[in-house]
Every structure is written in C-alpha cells, then in structure tokens.
Chain A
Amino acid sequence: MKSIRARLFTILLVTTGIVWLSAIAWIYLSTKAQVERVLDARLTEAARMVGSLVSSQDIAIGKAGAAAAIVAVPHASYDRQLSCQIWGFDGTLVGRSESAPGKPLTLAKSGFSETSVDGETWRVYAVTNPELGIRVLVGDNLRVRDRLVADVIRGLAFPALLILPVLAALLWLSVGRGLAPLNAMASALGARRASDLSALPDNDSPSEIKPVIHSLNGLFARVSTVRERERDFTAFAAHELRTPIAGLKTQAQIALGSSDDSIRNNALRQITVAVDRTARLVRQLTDLTNAESGELEDDVGHVDVGRTLQTLADDIGQHHRNAASVLISAELARLELGVNPSLFMAGARNLLENAVLHSPPDKPVRCGLRQEQRFLAITIDDCGPGIPEDELPKVRGRFFRGRNQTAAGSGLGLVIAELAAERMGAVLHLENRAEGGLRAELQFAERAIADGAA
C-alpha cells in the first residue's frame, strides 16, 4: 500500500470492526444465555404454578375453556410465547393454552426437553403430578426466543452500522491530521533547491519524525562535506593546471615568434617537458579521485608485490628514460599482500616515481622488505636530496612542493600515496636516510599478508 494514510485508515477501520464484531458476538452469546436462563426459570415457575393450580382444584380438570385463563400475560410483540398443555396419564389432553398445539409438546416425564412439533421447535418443561394423574407441560417457542435475542443484537448493531460511516470519516480526518508534520516535512524538502543542504529544523518535530530528520540531517552533512571537498579540490586542481598551461603557451609563443633555431628548439623541448608534467598531473588527479572515492575499499585482492613493483618500475622507466633504475629485492618477489591492487599500484607508483625522479641517474632506487614485530614494511630508498627536516611535516599536504622539487613534481604524489595507504590499512612513513636520500615505507599489519604466502 502506497499511502500511509490509507494504510493507517484501513488498519484502524478493520481493528475497530473486529472489536465491534467481537463485542456483538459476546453480547449475543451472553444475552442468549441470560435469556435462556430467565425464560427457563419462567417455564419452571409457570409449570409449577399450573401444577399447583390444578392440584388445589382451582381449575377443574376437563373444562377445556378454563385453560385459556392460564395463558400468560399477552405481550405486545412476543405474544403466544408460552404454551401450556395438561395431559392425563392416559394420554388425553386435559387442557391447553390458546397458542399450544394439539400434539404433546414433549414425551419426557419431567424436566426440560426440546422437541419439534409441526415444524416448530419448543423448549418444554414438564411437571408430573401423580396424585391427580396429570402431566403439566409448559413450552416456549424457540423461534420466539431467538427473535428476542436477535432483536437485542439488532438494537445494538443498527446504531453501530449508522455510526460506522461517521467513524470512518473521523478516522480518515484524524489520520490526515496526525500525518501533517510528515507532509510539512515533505513539502519543505520538495521546495528546496538542489544546492540547499542545510539541516532541517527538528526542535518542535514529533518524536516519530525526529529519527528521520536526524538521519536526513546527517546525510545532508555528509553530502555537503563531500561536495565541499570536491569543490575545493576542483578549484585547486584547476589552479594547479593553469601554471603548466601558462608555461606551454609561453613556450609555444616563443617557438612561433622566434626565427632563431636554437631558441625555437629549446622552446619545443620545454613544451615536451611541460606536456609530460601536465599528463602526469592529470593522471595523479585521476588517481587521487579514485583513491578518495572509497569505491575501491571493499575490493580486496591479492597483490604480488615483486611483480607489481617491477611492472611499475618498467613503466616509469619508459616515461623517464634517463632516470635512475629500480632494484627490487628477492624477498619482495615472494611477498603477497591481501590488499586492493589498484590502491597498492597508486600508492607504490607515486612513491617509486618520486624516488626515481629525485635520484641521480647513476644511483639506483632500492626496494626492500623490513620485518618488524608488529608489521612488515616495503621500503623504497633513493639517493636524492631527501626532504629538509622542516618540510617533513608539510610534504603530505596537497600541492605542496618543497625546495627539492623536481621539474615534474606536482605536489600530489605523496598525498595519493598516503591516501592509498590509509585506504589499504597501511601507514606511510617517510624519513631521511643517514647515508643520504629518502626512505619511504609502506607499513602493513601482519594480517595483510595473503594466506599461504610470505
């Protein structure tokens, strides 16, 4: 059912109906029992009365007309309710009331019995008077009894049926009124602009709607945080792309405007550098968005660390042909991690790229494994200038480029590496090496080691 109002209305109406029907059934049964008890008592009384009248000789047996005199007091709608017969032991009808049939109402000697005479069911009480040799039978027509009970029930049900539509209307209106805060909230939400993520007021809302409002406000807060971060990031990325574009434009203008071959060639070389750097920046922005989106989190797979690092190193080598080489230790080749492969690639790629770009071309970057008590670390050691100690706390900030930046540095590599590490449940650790250069470590908890490996 789509409408809460219709649903509530139906439920209320059905339950009210059931309560009413049960009440009527109960009243029917108890009324019937009471009526039977009272009427049975009356039958007994009437039979005894007739018996005593006969025995005290007030009624002359055999005078048929006298029987009419003992007919019960006529009742407007329930007349001919009681019938009385006086039978002799010999089977002769000594006397009967006006409404009584000619056949015996019962064959029972005494007590209550129910019999069918001429298609009518009778409830009969019999009293035997052995001294006079007579049997007094007093009977109630059951049809009349049933009508009595039915009249009582009808008297109850009829007004109820009349009231039912009124009740239905009242229920419908009340339910509508009860749901008004919900409608108010819906229309408030419906009237909002898409950009409006402010919280809904909840101080005077009903307690049933409060949880909904709280959840909605929580959702609004989360969505606006995400949107704000995206907006900040887009603005930052746009700004960050403008500088290389400005460089490209300037160099292109020089190449176009100069007739000197060496100047033109230099400008074209610079353009190549700028294009490489911009391409890397764009790739890093994509990496960052992917790492941030959180969609990769649940997808845990197996990472063959040695092979992955080798693939990355080969790829980096293709982009930076004259840069330092990468040496991967044999321990890493045997290591398998149960983490998300895309995140691992994004993190490791940026760390490796940083190391390669900062190292002198003749000194290789070394990747190794360090085992600690609580974790194991993949280390990437370069022979570059390292990071000045005062910049170490800042290097993970977005678009931070330190004093020892490279031409291709975008200030995003470490941000991506750290974000990817965080998502993998790992820790990114950076330190300057005593012998010079930087060591970047990805520290994984023991449980990240894939089963059956290492």
Chain B
Amino acid sequence: MRVLVVEDDPVLLNGLQVGLGLAGFTVEAVANCADASAALDTSDFDAVVLDLMLPDGSGLDILGALRRRRSLVPVLLLTARDGVPDRIAGLDAGADDYLGKPFDLDEVAARLRALARRSGGHAAATLQWRDVVLDPASMGVTRGGQPVRLSRREFSILRALLDRPGQILSKSQLEDRLYGWQEEIESNAIEVHIHNLRAKLGPGLVQTVRGVGYRMAETGA
C-alpha cells in the first residue's frame, strides 16, 4: 500500500516514514506543499497523510486541489489544531479522517488501513481470495487456515493483487506500490517475489498475463 506523507517537521516525517514502513506501507515522504503537489501529480497513492501547517502554504490547499481534480484518494489530516471547528473545516474541505497531534503510530496505521479498505470497496478488515486470507493489520496470511510466512515485499505484492481481485497489475504498478522513490529496484525483483509467492501459496494462485502483468487466478490451474 503506497502512502504519501506530507509533514514539515523532519523528526516526525522520519518517524512516519519508518513507522508506517514497518507497518507494511510503502511511504513517500515530502516536507512542503510544492513537493506534495508534484508527487500527487506524478504518481498514484492509496492514501495521503497531510499536515495542515506547511512552510509554503496550508495542507488544505493541497486537499482542495486534489478534490478539484476529482481525485478520490483517501486523505488523513494530521495536525496540531484539533479543535472541533478545525476538524469540521478539514473534513468539509474533503478530508476523510482527522487525527490530532500527538497521535499513536498504530492508530495512524489502522486509520490508513480503514481508509484504504473503504476506498477499495471492501467491508471486512481482512482480504480474502479463495482460501487465502490476508490481514493487513497483523500482516498475517493464512491459506486454508494454515499461517504462511511471507516477507514484507511478498506481503505487499499479495496485498496489492488482493485489493482489486481480477484486475491486472503491471510490473511497474507493482514496483510503484512496493518501493519508495529513493530505493534501488533490481530489474527482476518483482519476478523473484512472484516466484516466491507461488512457492509459498501454491502455483495456481497468482496468474501471469503475458505482456500485461499479474492478477489473482479465478480457479486453480
């Protein structure tokens, strides 16, 4: 799950980047409005964590621009101003959720998962495909009730595929979801992870669509 974090305090930004990374998110971190707008213009995110007071403007401006573009990306506002009028102003400006500082890292992660779940059209907290169940909160995966140990990358790929079952995700889309901008990507990294997933969950689960990408297979082959 790919998340954009916009926060001008370097320590907090680093904390969110590392903390959400540990919770299974792929985090892009920016510190001002200009960088945030550039990031939102050029790539897709599953959720945005937005601070309101930024050095070159207000987070509400970014939010407004986002909604004017009819973007449906869920936005979680993080701010020091958490009075009721501030919350109302934020939610009315198009935010999906509001969290006052200081907050709990686990709560940010949980809210982001909930936001992503809603925007993905899922009702349950867990994602299921045939006999595979993925729990984003605990980062656990079971097949037929038996727990399966996956690496962080493998989990992220499975999660991206389960998010919209049946939809084909290209290799580059998967790379976007998996890696931050600064990270080096080996050219065959995705293939290696898919290979490992098939080894752990059984060969028929992830289907390769030649020349296009990957998707979850309807029936076991």
Question: A residues near B, CB below 8 A?
Answer: 238-240, 242-251, 253-254, 257-258, 263, 266-267, 270-271, 273-274, 277, 399, 401-403, 405, 407
Contact = CB atoms under 8 A, between A and B. Distances in A.
A263 B22 contact: yes
A397 to B, nearest CB: 12
B19 A250 contact: yes
Contacts of A253: 15, 19, 104-106
Contacts of B51: 243
B22 A257 contact: yes
B32 interface: yes
B102 interface: yes
Rank and list the top 8 A-B pairs by shortest CB-CB distance, nearest first.
A250-B15, A247-B12, A247-B11, A246-B102, A246-B101, A239-B80, A242-B80, A274-B11
A242 B101 contact: yes
A270 B12 CA distance: 9
A265 to B, nearest CB: 12
B203 to A, nearest CB: 32
Given A245-B102, A403-B55, A407-B10, A254 B81 contact: no
Nearest to A271: B11
A405 B55 contact: yes
Contacts of A250: 12, 15-16, 19, 102-103, 105
Contacts of A267: 15, 18
Contacts of B53: 399
A392 to B, nearest CB: 14
Nearest to B55: A401
A249 B11 CA distance: 10
Interface residues of B, number: 26
B56 interface: yes
A273 B11 CA distance: 7
Interface in B135-153: none
Given A254-B15, A263-B22, A407-B10, A243 B80 contact: yes
Contacts of B32: 403
B80 A240 contact: yes
Most buried by A among B11, B15, B18, B105: B11
Contacts of A270: 11, 14-15
B8 interface: yes
A306 to B, nearest CB: 35
Contact of B22 (A240, A246, A258, A401): A258
A249 B8 CA distance: 16
Contact of A243 (B12, B14, B56, B105): B12
A247 to B, nearest CB: 3
Contact of A244 (B11, B18, B78): B11
A242 B11 CA distance: 12
Interface in B152-186: none
Given A251-B11, A405-B55, 16 more contacts: A239-B80, A243-B9, A247-B9, A249-B103, A249-B104, A249-B105, A250-B16, A254-B19, A254-B105, A257-B19, A266-B18, A270-B14, A399-B53, A403-B56, A405-B8, A407-B10
Interface of B: 8-12, 14-16, 18-19, 22, 32, 51, 53, 55-56, 78, 80-81, 100-106
A248 B102 CA distance: 9
Contact of B9 (A244, A266, A399, A402): A244
Contact of A245 (B19, B101, B104, B105): B101
B23 to A, nearest CB: 9
6 contacts: A243-B12, A243-B80, A247-B11, A248-B102, A251-B14, A405-B8
Given A242-B102, A245-B102, A246-B102, A251 B15 contact: yes
Nearest to B7: A243
Contacts of A240: 80
A407 B9 CA distance: 7
Contacts of B10: 273, 407
A421 B115 CA distance: 50
B11 A263 contact: no
A247 B15 contact: yes
Contacts of A257: 19, 22, 105
Contacts of B103: 246, 249-250
A246 B56 contact: no
B22 to A, nearest CB: 6
A249 B51 CA distance: 16
B200 to A, nearest CB: 22
A270 B11 CA distance: 6
Nearest to B81: A239
Contacts of A238: 80
Given A239-B81, A403-B56, A246 B12 contact: yes
A250 B171 CA distance: 33
Contacts of B81: 239
A250 B108 CA distance: 10
Contacts of A407: 10-11
Nearest to B52: A239
Nearest to B33: A403
Contacts of B9: 243-244, 246-247
A244 B14 CA distance: 12
A402 B14 contact: no
Contacts of A277: 11
Contacts of A243: 9, 12, 51, 80, 101
A238 to B, nearest CB: 8
A247 B15 CA distance: 6
B37 to A, nearest CB: 14
Contacts of A254: 15, 18-19, 22, 105
Contacts of B104: 249, 253
B213 to A, nearest CB: 32
A251 B9 CA distance: 12
Contacts of B105: 249-250, 253-254, 257
A407 B22 CA distance: 24
Contacts of A239: 80-81
A248 B12 CA distance: 7
A101 B78 CA distance: 124
Contacts of A401: 8, 55
